[in-house]
Chains A and B, each alone.
Chain A
Amino acid sequence: DGGITQSPKYLFRKEGQNVTLSCEQNLNHDAMYWYRQDPGQGLRLIYYSQIVNDFQKGDIAEGYSVSREKKESFPLTVTSAQKNPTAFYLCASSVGLAVYNEQFFGPGTRLTVL
């Protein structure tokens, strides 16, 4: 079955540590996205990528970094510079960047900073 996988489902981090969230898709989609979801709020875009080796900052990129070395993979690193990293992180992909293309979401990773 085609889809998006995110791992781990739950992640705990000590303050001052970097942590990397995995996102893999086998839908052959060109575009991939990372969103952050906080309780009672909508999703906010962190980074997005249209093609391999290219990515753009979203609305809340500070304290995060990404890479896109393979079409199917778009890992997100939450760095120690991110002041409030505890949140639910969602990865998505779509055929292309045009907004009418449906974005397919993974199941998410819940990050908690201890």
Chain B
Amino acid sequence: GDSVTQMEGPVTLSEEAFLTINCTYTATGYPSLFWYVQYPGEGLQLLLKATKADDKGSNKGFEATYRKETTSFHLEKGSVQVSDSAVYFCASGSGNTGKLIFGQGTTLQVKP
């Protein structure tokens, strides 16, 4: 079945460092891909999405490109801030059920 795999955390970075969180997926067909962020004690918020191959999603300085050839959707940010500390989830979805397949989440901690 469909699945999403993320790099294991926690990821600890200093402020202004470059961030990459790897995400790969397996799916039949061509799913839509998402990155969600969860701040401590809160629900998830959509960070960015891409619905077809080669699309780039971007928001708040974060970017991810839908790579069909490598079945990947890696999250990047050029300069992280302490306020970016959170858990990041990669997810894929297809069809008309609204069902999303989530990765296990990657915790990011940014130190001043």
Residues of chain A at the chain B interface (Cβ within 8 Å): 4, 6, 31, 33, 40-45, 48, 50, 56, 58, 90, 92, 94, 96-108
Contacts and interface: CB of A to CB of B under 8 A. Distances in A.
Given A97-B97, A99-B96, A42 B102 contact: yes
Is the interface on chain B under 10, 10 to 19, 20 to 34, or 35 or more residues? Answer: 20 to 34
Interface string B29-51: 00110001000011111100101
A99 B100 contact: yes
A31 B97 CA distance: 10
Contacts of B103: 42
A43 B99 CA distance: 11
Interface of B: 4, 31-32, 36, 41-46, 49, 51, 89, 91, 93-105
B49 A107 contact: no
A95 to B, nearest CB: 10
Contacts of A102: 46, 49
A105 B4 CA distance: 20
A59 to B, nearest CB: 8
Given A45-B100, A105-B43, 6 more contacts: A42-B101, A42-B105, A43-B44, A92-B43, A97-B97, A100-B93
A5 to B, nearest CB: 11
Contacts of B36: 105
A80 B36 CA distance: 32
Contact of B43 (A50, A101, A107): A107
Contacts of A40: 104-105
Contacts of A92: 43-44
B102 A100 contact: no
A56 B31 CA distance: 21
